[in-house]
Amino acid sequence: MPQYRYCYLLIVWLSIALCFSSTSTADDVYRVIVPANLSPGEISKNRLRAIFSMRLQHWPDGQKIRVFVLPSRSELHTHFSRDVLGFFPYQLKRIWNKNTFTGIGSIPVEVIDESAMLSAVAKTPGAIGYLSFTPEQEGSDVSVVY
């Protein structure tokens, strides 16, 4: 049946594309930070994904999670989303848009660069963010949790 020929072609193309669509996992170049006085419990990749997609909105002690991100088109955000969270930036953006326009859930606060990220996370209760470097640990206002 000629009309099914296109379906077969589509299935073959999708199968090939799925085989070649794996992503790299170079997690070690990213640092996830929270305020030094926060006890977030164990932070797994899966939990990070739920936190940054705003599906988990509270820390175990009931404190609201306040998520900070870099601009969607920044290189660090793109790589962090893909390599750590397993999301492509367009997926995260869609989830945040859904939260915004359904009123369910929250949206992250966007900061302009890593210096602003460090400062915002340090002074915001319940905050979480990410950097491409390890901040100085001694006397620091933030702690690295992933």
Partner 1 sequence: MLAWFIKPPFNTTTAALGAVNRVRRLILPLAALLISFPVSADSHWGGYISLGTADARDNSFYDLDGSNPGLLTEVVLNGRHSLDDRLQLSGQLMYRNKGKTQEEEVRLDYAFLDYTLASSSNSEYHSFLGRFKNSIGLQGSTLDVPFSRTASILPQSIYDEISRDLYVAADGIALQSTHLFANGELEFMATLGRLDMGKQLTANLIGDYEDNLDSKDFYNLGVEYSFAGQWLVGFDHVYADIEHSASAASTYQSGNIELERNYLFLRYSAESWELNLEYLYQDATIDNLLPNNLVGLSEFITGNSFLPPAPPLPTRNDTTSDSYYVQLRYFLNEQLTLMLGYDVIYANRDDKNGREHQQQYEQLSQLSDFVAELPVIGQDFGVNPSPAYSQYQKTATLGLSWQPNQDWMLMFEYHRVKGSAVMPARINKQLETERHQHSSLLVFQASYRF
Task: Give min distance, CB of 105 to partner 1, in A.
Answer: 8
Residues 29-88 that bind partner 1 (CB under 8 A): 41-42, 46-47, 49-50, 55-60, 62-64, 72-73, 82, 85-88
Task: Give min distance, CB of 41 to partner 1, in A.
Answer: 5
User: What HEC string does 83-102 produce?
Assistant: HHHCCCHHHHHHHHHHHHHH
Helix (H) or strand (E) holding 129: strand 127-131
Q: Judging by DSSP bridges, how do beta strands 66-69 and 109-110 pair with one another?
A: parallel
CA distance 9 to 66: 46
Which residues form the interface with partner 1 (CB under 8 A)? 10, 14, 17-18, 21, 23, 41-42, 46-47, 49-50, 55-60, 62-64, 72-73, 82, 85-88, 90-91, 93-94, 97-98, 100-104, 106-107, 126
